[in-house]
């Protein structure tokens, strides 16, 4: 038994060392397998941007991508974000050490359970912050949760060039990447446990774009969401959930964890090869598909699982705190009578809950005055009049219905995931289906399909065809948040003196196809009016993509596409007014937003006189690439029962 364990350890060590010695092309003959025509490569390093070639002691970066998918500044920008993460982590450590210890009453007062009186709340929230910004929680000690979610970007993607090009953020293994945008953390803790409402025939709740963090076990979707990235092969990438407990044993804030959760809560006896295992990325061929390569006793595995639950609960405590979900926007000040909307902001708010019908999904505590049966296909939206009701005197609205929707977005060929068809240095293949992959969102999750997670509720499987292509209705709070140096998300804006206003490039919706708030509103407004049966990058001559041409949906299911939008009959000015209203939902107006001052990168600028895409309407169009000829949807995606109905091409 011992001899077998030693042999297994040596074998794994050899493979890991080999991965660090050789390039990311262990099987060169497979380089072109499943790669679309015109995208074959002889060398996976040939398209690595300047400054991204192999550093001594690290594996050669995985680069199966055609030129232009990886931005030229990717390595320097990753390093920049890691430095910013270190700043916030040190601030959190200082705050923890400055907090007085909580009071532990010798006798419980009345019928109450044990409570850490005084600073218990701050200590719990601070522990979550320390975990969230801890880059040691990855095999390479080079990836924190916040590598993809920084405060100054509304807790979404912090690298403008990534938002413009590769869409998903690179993980601990450079340059593996996922398939979706980094969702904003703010207000995510308020989403309920995923539930199917039989009366409405709709799902509500959960976290992640596909709602796969259901909350079924912890009864807290946000806490379960925090348990995903540490073992996601394309993100932080641990091979075993127990690696979190192992790294917590050596964390500087270990005393805080044990103060909150008890002496001995991290007292797990790890085998001697744990450090080697936890330094090896998940998905490595050496593990042979084993999801628990750390061989613990049953008692220690139970302890490690409990620690992993505490990890999720602590991060949720921080994300639910006023440090993250602050309710400090202009809109909140308006509700309290401390701010008066400008004329454009008020006009946008009336459209938001009127003709545009935004609040039928992004619920704001008011009714919608859009005329029923209008606003989509060939039926332009009209309104029944101005809503004169008062805002509900409850908690400030979250601007989400907690549901999901298929908005009919086209497939975005810039998503890095499509090109990951060859093994990396660890023998891992991210997407063997290439462009045969279709992102069915919640539909894939309900089928426990490729690229999602296991569905814990067998009664939900039957509803998969009814939710194909649906993604979570995210709150629109903080959709416009940017670093102070970059005061807008919109390109081509000028100040009162005509000088260009620096902007922060964001990416919107699950696949990052939309690049500005103006485009977002215009898409909802004209999707059905300018619909063309083409893929992205192939709009007909005489049209401009995202202006008067919208490519066909990736998941063109008539039973799931949202039909409250698509032909809202808004003018360009009215679109701009809705954007002005969306900007009132940015936290930090009444009090400074915590850690929004940590951005050390560069804003983007452009000149409309020389750049035809220097406008919110055409923002990002300079990086459009033609979608290659698409193979049929892979049977491993679209052939899983119950199959999509009608079939997805």
pLDDT in tens, 101-142: 999 888 776 778 889 999 999 999 999 999 999 999 999 999
Structure tokens at 626: 């033609």
Report H helices in 420-496.
442-446
**What is the torsional sign of CA 481, 483, 485, 486?**
negative
d(CA 331, CA 566): 27
Which tens digits make up the pLDDT trace of 303-326? Answer: 999 999 999 999 999 999 999 999
Distance of CA 564 to the CA centre of its chain: 25
Q: Give the residue carrying structure tokens 């935004």.
A: 358
> 39 pLDDT band (50/70/90 cuts)?
very low
d(CA 471, CA 451): 14
What does the pLDDT read at residue 586? 98
d(CA 352, CA 368): 8
Q: Comparing 1-10, 367-376, 432-441, 513-522, which segment has the lowest mean pLDDT?
A: 1-10
Say yes or no to pLDDT of 28 above 90: no
What does the pLDDT read at residue 108? 74
Q: What is the DSSP string of 14-57?
A: HHHHHHHHS-S-SSGGGTTTTPPTT---S-TTTTPPTT-SPPTT
Mean pLDDT (whole number) for 401-426: 98
In this prediction, what percent of the chain has a pLDDT beyond 70?
Answer: 90
Q: Comparing 77-91, 209-223, 377-391, 539-553, which segment has the lowest mean pLDDT?
A: 377-391
What does the pLDDT read at residue 104? 85
**What is the torsional sign of CA 607, 507, 358, 438?**
positive
489 with 503: CB under 8 angstroms? yes
Q: Among 511, 521, 512, 515, which residue's Cα sits nearest to residue 503?
A: 515
Say yes or no to pLDDT of 92 above 70: yes
Residue with the larger pLDDT of the pair 284 and 18: 284
Apex 214 CA angle, 312 and 89, nearest 5: 25
Q: Comparing 125-139, 330-344, 376-390, 529-543, which segment has the lowest mean pLDDT?
A: 376-390
606 with 492: CB under 8 angstroms? yes
Q: Among 585, 575, 438, 580, which residue's Cα sits nearest to residue 510?
A: 438
Mean pLDDT (whole number) for 445-464: 98
Say yes or no to pLDDT of 40 above 80: no
Q: Comparing 67-76, 103-112, 258-267, 534-543, which segment has the lowest mean pLDDT?
A: 103-112
What does the pLDDT read at residue 58? 56
What does the pLDDT read at residue 113? 85
d(CA 467, CA 441): 8
> 388 pLDDT band (50/70/90 cuts)?
confident
Which tens digits make up the pLDDT trace of 594-604? Answer: 999 999 999 99
What does the pLDDT read at residue 12? 47
- Strand, helix or coil for residue 514: strand
Burial, 19: exposed, middle or buried (Cβ in 10 Å; 0-12, 13-18, 19+)? buried
Structure tokens at 215: 């909350």
| Boundaries of every domain in the chain | 74-102+117-320
d(CA 603, CA 612): 19
| Helix axes of 254-261 and 298-320: crossing angle, nearest 10 degrees | 100
- Strand, helix or coil for residue 488: strand
Q: Which CATH class is domain 74-102+117-320?
A: mainly alpha
Mean pLDDT (whole number) for 432-440: 98
Say yes or no to pLDDT of 520 above 80: yes
Say yes or no to pLDDT of 30 above 70: no
Write the DSSP symbol of residue 466.
Answer: G
Report H helices in 440-545.
442-446, 517-526
d(CA 85, CA 9): 34
Mean pLDDT (whole number) for 33-45: 38
What does the pLDDT read at residue 296? 98
Say yes or no to pLDDT of 7 above 60: no
Q: Among 172, 181, 177, which residue's Cα sits nearest to residue 239?
A: 172
131 with 245: CB under 8 angstroms? no
Q: What is the DSSP string of 141-202?
A: S---GGGS-BGGGTSB---HHHHHTT-SPB-SSTT-B-SS-----TTGGGPPPPEEETTTTE
Say yes or no to pLDDT of 264 above 90: yes
Say yes or no to pLDDT of 29 above 50: no
What does the pLDDT read at residue 106? 80
Q: What is the DSSP string of 364-426?
A: -SS---BPTT-SBTTB---BS----PPPPSSSPP-S--S-EEB--PPP-TT-GGGG--S--TT
Residue with the larger pLDDT of the pair 20 and 493: 493
d(CA 465, CA 429): 28
> 408 pLDDT band (50/70/90 cuts)?
very high
Residue with the larger pLDDT of the pair 605 and 60: 605
What does the pLDDT read at residue 394? 63
Please give the sequence-ordered ranges of beta strands (E in DSSP) within 239-288, or none if there are none: none
What does the pLDDT read at residue 332? 96
d(CA 518, CA 514): 9
Chain mean pLDDT for the chain: 91
Say yes or no to pLDDT of 557 above 60: yes
Cα→Cα distances 23→20, 28, 44, 343, Å? 8, 10, 9, 59
Residue with the larger pLDDT of the pair 159 and 371: 159
């Amino acid at each position: 038994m011992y001899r077998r364990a030693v042999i297994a350890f040596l074998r794994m060590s050899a493979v890991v060392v080999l991965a660090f010695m050789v390039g990311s092309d262990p099987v060169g003959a497979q380089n072109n397998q499943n790669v679309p025509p015109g995208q074959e490569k002889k060398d996976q390093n040939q398209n690595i941007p300047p400054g991204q070639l192999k550093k001594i002691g690290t594996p050669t970066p995985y680069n199966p991508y055609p030129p232009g998918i990886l931005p030229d500044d990717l390595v320097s920008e990753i390093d920049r974000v890691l430095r910013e993460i270190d700043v916030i982590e040190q601030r959190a450590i200082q705050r923890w050490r400055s907090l007085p210890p909580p009071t532990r009453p010798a006798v419980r007062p009345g019928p109450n359970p044990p409570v850490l009186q005084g600073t218990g709340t701050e200590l719990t929230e601070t522990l979550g912050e320390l975990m969230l910004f801890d880059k040691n929680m990855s095999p390479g000690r080079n990836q924190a949760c916040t590598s993809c979610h920084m405060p100054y970007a509304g807790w979404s993607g912090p690298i403008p060039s990534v938002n413009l090009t590769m869409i998903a953020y690179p993980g601990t293994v450079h340059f593996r990447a996922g398939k979706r945008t980094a969702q904003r953390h703010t207000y995510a803790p308020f989403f309920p446990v995923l539930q199917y409402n039989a009366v409405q025939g709709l799902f509500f709740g959960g976290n992640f774009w596909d709602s796969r963090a259901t909350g079924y076990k912890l009864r807290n979707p946000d806490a379960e969401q925090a348990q995903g990235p540490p073992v996601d092969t394309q993100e932080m990438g641990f091979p075993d959930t127990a690696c979190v407990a192992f790294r917590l044993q050596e964390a500087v804030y270990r005393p805080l964890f044990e103060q909150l959760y008890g002496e001995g809560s991290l007292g797990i006896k790890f085998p001697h090869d744990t450090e080697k295992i936890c330094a090896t990325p998940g998905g490595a061929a050496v593990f042979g598909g084993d999801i628990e390569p750390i061989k613990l006793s049953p008692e220690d595995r139970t302890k490690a699982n409990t620690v992993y639950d505490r990890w999720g609960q602590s991060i949720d405590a921080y994300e639910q705190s006023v440090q993250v979900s602050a309710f400090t926007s202009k809109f909140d000040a308006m509700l309290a009578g401390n701010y008066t909307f400008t004329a454009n902001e008020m006009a946008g708010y009336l459209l938001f809950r009127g003709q545009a019908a935004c609040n039928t999904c992004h619920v704001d505590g008011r009714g919608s005055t859009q005329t029923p049966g209008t606003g989509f296909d060939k039926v332009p939206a009209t309104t029944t009049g101005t809503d004169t009701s008062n805002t509900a005197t409850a908690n400030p609205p979250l601007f989400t219905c907690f549901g999901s929707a298929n908005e009919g977005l086209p497939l975005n060929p810039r998503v890095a995931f499509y090109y990951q068809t060859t093994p990396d240095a660890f023998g891992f293949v991210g997407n063997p289906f290439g462009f045969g992959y279709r992102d069915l969102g919640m539909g894939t999750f309900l089928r426990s399909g490729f690229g999602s997670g296991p569905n814990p509720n067998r009664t939900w499987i039957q509803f998969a065809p009814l939710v194909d292509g649906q993604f979570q209705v995210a709150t629109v709070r903080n959709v416009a948040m940017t670093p102070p140096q970059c005061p807008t998300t919109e390109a081509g804006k000028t100040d009162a003196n005509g000088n260009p206003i620096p902007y922060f490039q964001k990416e919107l919706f699950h696949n990052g196809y939309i690049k500005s708030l103006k485009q977002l509103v215009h898409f909802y407004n004209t999707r059905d009016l300018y619909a063309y049966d083409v893929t992205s990058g192939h709009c007909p001559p005489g049209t401009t993509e995202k202006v008067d041409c919208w490519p066909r949906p990736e998941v063109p299911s008539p039973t799931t596409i949202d039909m409250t939008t698509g032909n809202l009959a808004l003018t360009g000015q009215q679109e701009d007014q809705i954007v002005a209203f969306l900007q009132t939902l940015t936290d930090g107006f009444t009090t400074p937003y915590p850690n929004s001052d940590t951005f050390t990168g560069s804003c983007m600028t452009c000149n409309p006189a020389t750049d035809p895409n220097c406008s919110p309407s055409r923002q990002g169009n300079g990086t459009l690439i033609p979608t290659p000829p698409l193979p049929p949807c892979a049977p491993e995606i679209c052939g899983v029962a119950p199959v999509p109905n009608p079939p997805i091409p």
